[in-house]
Structure 1
Amino acid sequence: MNEFTVLAAILGCLANSLLILGLAWSIYRPKQRVWPPEKSTVMHRIVVWTLTCIGFGSAIFIGFVEWGILDVPAFLRWGLGLVLLIFGNVVVWAGVLHLGFAATSGAKGSLRTTGLYRYSRNPQYLADIAILVGIGILSASIMSWPVIFTGIVALALAPFSEEPWLLEKYGDAYAEYLMATRRFF
Structure 2
Amino acid sequence: MRLFDYVQSINGDPMPLPEPAKRKHLHTREVSFTGYEREDGLFDVEGHLVDTKTYSFPNKDRGEIKAGEAIHNMRLRLTVDEEMIVRDVAVSIDDSPFNMCTTITPAFDVLKGMQVGPGWNRRVREKLGGVKGCTHLVEMLAPIATATYQTLYPALKRRRENLPEEERDKPSLIDGCHAMDSNGPLVKERWPEYYVGK
Alignment TM-score, normalising by the size of structure 1: 0.32
Task: Compare the two structures and name the one with the higher strand fraction.
Answer: 2
Alignment TM-score, normalising by the size of structure 2: 0.31
Larger Rg: 1 or 2? 2
